[in-house]
């Protein structure tokens, strides 16, 4: 039924009505669904993938799309799992490596910083090398440095190895959302993005429980060995389960090479007429060819990733990212607060119990992922129908800003109020269930904001979806890094109540201003963004 429904809404192809083309695609030789021959498949170890590559990834059957979405979500859980699995054991790490809790928190904070910087490169490379190659290379990287984290002999080595490990796992934070945008059409993308975000946001549900149990039974190093096992299994799964989904187009390096080769051939043809001066020119053209290739390679490696940050000059992108970053930064501050608050008087919970206290906000993520995405998709369809936006085929025309309606107002009020609730109940030593209920509502509200912002970014710039998500990760993980660094000193100085109340006011005011601005100016901002991106592509 899902395939038939999507067929009705699809655009006509090659003059054939969309419904007929899609319905008969399984029985015909339509080029959009015929698997790419194994010899022509793209990506590292592509011949080993059990899911065939097809020319148009949106034409995968729904079960295949969900399988790919699940695999990417499973991979995306690695990054937050790497940051959260050690949280219940931070005091054990400080004791074992003879350091202070504030320095130990750097192993979490700088891990988040690496997750903000590395995706700039992963995202940039994925637009030319493809998604699959980046997934496999980055997870091998993640696994290797997780091994070195597990055998670290001092806090400096642990922090350095975790920074590099976090950089590897962070690839899916940006590239994964690009994969979702590759295979899902806009009308279904909110639901798919919600399921995808189950991975990165439910990693904190499982990781602290596992980390607490492992640290109490086997010591803190076992938490890093768990990451080694997880990374290795995910690498194997990616090799066999993820096809290349990036639309085929010429890479920067290939274009530079083709241009230079064309010039070279022209000169060689002229040299064949017997002109020795032109023969000497042929040698210069050969040098020119190599130089142009090297310059294109250098640009791809060093300049193009940094250009992603320039996306923040567009108000629609900047405001969407800013609002998501506030919610994400408060999340990691809250995570540090849980460990610091409930392992100390009056609670004095053991390491494994502290790990269990991360469950409530993750349950909020789960509920929001399962139902929030569908809610947002329905809002989007409603707004498009209300505005009468239909194309010539009667298909609804969606706008990214349609996703930020009453869902954003409700969620934008829910998670700041939950921060106040948690902060004062935890500071006053109220029965543990009270702050935990608050954390559930924090998870519910913040997850709706995360999913809304991420989906909007993929739709503001559909041809460079992973670049938009990389810019989002860059800002939000910087917020998370700062939150992790300042959490311990601020909690010791102001306490949970006052500091989280300040964050709540900041979040409420920022959220109201962002939603109002997006409603009022989004059409103008989106038009200028589309024009600028079109010029860049030309």
Q: For the CA atoms of the chain, what is the radius of gyration? A: 25
Residues 65 and 191 occupy one common structural domain: yes
Residues 261 and 314 occupy one common structural domain: no
Mean pLDDT over residues 48-65, rounded? 91
For the chain, helix, strand, coil in percent to 5 are 80, 0, 20
Domain encompassing residue 117: 42-265
Cα torsion at 100, 334, 135, 52 (round to 10°)?
A: 150
pLDDT for res 87 = 80
Residue 325 token pair: 């970053």
Residues 333 and 200 occupy one common structural domain: no
Domain boundary among 265, 299, 324: 265
Residues 415 and 363 occupy one common structural domain: yes
Residues 435 and 533 occupy one common structural domain: yes
The CATH number covering residue 213 comes to: 1.20.1250.20
Query: Over the stretch 297-326, which tens digit does the pLDDT of each residue have?
Result: 566 666 667 777 888 888 988 998 999 888
Asked if the structure places residue 35 within a domain, the reply is no
Asked if the structure places residue 177 within a domain, the reply is yes
Average of per-residue pLDDT values in the chain: 81
pLDDT for res 262 = 54
Asked if the structure places residue 153 within a domain, the reply is yes
Mean pLDDT over residues 76-82, rounded? 89
Asked if the structure places residue 354 within a domain, the reply is yes
Pure H helices in 357-464: 359-367, 373-386, 406-427, 433-460
pLDDT for res 275 = 52
Asked if the structure places residue 281 within a domain, the reply is no
Please tell me the least confidently modeled range out of 210-224, 279-293, 418-432, 507-521.
279-293
Mean pLDDT over residues 67-86, rounded? 89
Please tell me the least confidently modeled range out of 231-245, 338-352, 419-433.
338-352
Judge if pTM exceeds 0.85: no
Mean pLDDT over residues 72-88, rounded? 87
Residues 217 and 142 occupy one common structural domain: yes
**354 close to 208: Cβ distance less than 8 angstroms:** yes
Mean pLDDT over residues 483-496, rounded? 84
Residue bearing the bigger pLDDT, 359 or 268: 359
Domain boundary among 265, 291, 317: 265
Q: Cα–Cα distance between 196 and 437 in angstroms, integer?
A: 25
b vs e for 49-81, b when ≥16 Cβ sit within 10 Å of the residue's Cβ? bebbbbebbbbbeeebbbebbebbbbbbbbbbb
Residues 334 and 256 occupy one common structural domain: no
pLDDT for res 298 = 62
**Phi/psi-derived region of residue 515, left when phi > 0, alpha when psi is between -120 and 50, beta in every other case:** alpha
Domain boundary among 201, 235, 265: 265
Asked if the structure places residue 357 within a domain, the reply is yes
Asked if the structure places residue 486 within a domain, the reply is yes
Q: What angle do CA 119, 122, 124 make, to 5 degrees?
A: 105
Residue bearing the bigger pLDDT, 357 or 29: 357
Asked if the structure places residue 48 within a domain, the reply is yes
Query: Over the stretch 125-141, which tens digit does the pLDDT of each residue have?
Result: 887 788 999 999 999 99
Q: Cα–Cα distance between 202 and 362 in angstroms, integer?
A: 6
Q: What angle do CA 113, 486, 332 make, to 5 degrees?
A: 60
Residues 254 and 364 occupy one common structural domain: no
Question: How many domains is the chain built from?
Answer: 2
């Amino acid at each position: 039924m899902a395939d038939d429904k999507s067929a009705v809404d699809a655009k006509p192809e090659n003059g054939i009505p969309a419904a007929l083309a899609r319905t008969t695609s399984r029985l015909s030789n339509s080029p959009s669904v015929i698997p790419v021959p194994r010899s022509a498949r793209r990506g590292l170890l592509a011949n080993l993938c059990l899911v065939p590559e097809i020319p148009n990834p949106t034409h995968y059957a729904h079960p295949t799309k969900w399988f790919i979405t699940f695999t990417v979500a499973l991979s995306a859980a690695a990054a937050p799992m790497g940051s959260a699995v050690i949280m219940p054991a931070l005091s054990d790490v400080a004791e074992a490596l003879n350091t202070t809790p504030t320095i130990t928190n750097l192993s979490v904070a700088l891990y988040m910083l690496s997750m903000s910087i590395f995706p700039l490169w992963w995202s940039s490379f994925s637009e030319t090398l493809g998604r699959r190659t980046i997934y496999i290379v980055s997870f091998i990287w993640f696994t290797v440095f997780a091994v070195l984290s597990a055998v670290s002999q001092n806090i400096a080595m642990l922090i350095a190895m975790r920074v590099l490990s976090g950089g590897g796992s962070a690839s899916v934070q940006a590239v994964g959302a690009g994969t979702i945008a590759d295979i899902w059409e806009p009308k279904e993308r909110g639901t798919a993005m919600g399921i995808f975000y189950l991975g990165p946001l439910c990693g904190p549900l499982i990781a602290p429980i596992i980390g607490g149990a492992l640290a109490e039974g086997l010591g803190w190093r076992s938490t890093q060995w768990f990451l080694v096992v997880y990374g290795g299994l995910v690498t194997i799964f990616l090799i066999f389960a993820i096809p290349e989904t990036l639309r085929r187009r010429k890479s920067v390096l290939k274009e530079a090479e083709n241009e230079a080769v064309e010039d070279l051939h022209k000169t060689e043809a002229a040299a064949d007429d017997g002109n020795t001066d032109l023969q000497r020119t042929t040698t210069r053209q050969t040098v020119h060819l190599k130089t142009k290739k090297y310059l294109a390679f250098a640009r791809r490696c060093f300049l193009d990733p940094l250009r992603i940050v320039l996306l923040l000059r567009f108000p629609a992108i900047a405001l969407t990212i800013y609002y998501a970053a506030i919610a994400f930064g408060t999340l990691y501050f809250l995570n540090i607060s849980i460990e610091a608050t409930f392992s100390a008087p009056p609670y004095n919970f053991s390491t494994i119990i502290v790990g269990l206290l991360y469950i409530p906000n993750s349950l909020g993520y789960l509920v929001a992922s399962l139902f929030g995405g569908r809610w947002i998709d329905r809002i989007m369809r409603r707004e498009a129908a209300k505005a009468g936006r239909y194309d010539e085929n009667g298909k609804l025309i969606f706008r990214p800003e349609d996703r930020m309606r009453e869902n954003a107002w409700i969620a934008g009020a829910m998670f700041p109020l939950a921060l106040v609730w948690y902060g004062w109940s935890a500071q006053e030593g109220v029965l543990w269930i009270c702050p935990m209920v608050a954390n559930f509502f924090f998870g519910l509200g913040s997850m709706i904001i995360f999913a809304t912002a991420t989906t909007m970014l993929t739709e503001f710039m559909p041809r460079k979806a992973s670049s938009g998500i990389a810019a989002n990760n860059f800002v939000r993980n910087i917020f998370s890094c700062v939150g992790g660094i300042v959490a311990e000193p601020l909690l010791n100085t102001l306490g949970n109540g006052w500091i989280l109340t300040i964050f709540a006011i900041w979040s409420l005011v920022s959220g109201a201003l962002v939603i109002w601005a997006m409603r009022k100016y989004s059409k103008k901002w989106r038009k200028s963004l589309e024009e600028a991106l079109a010029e860049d592509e030309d």
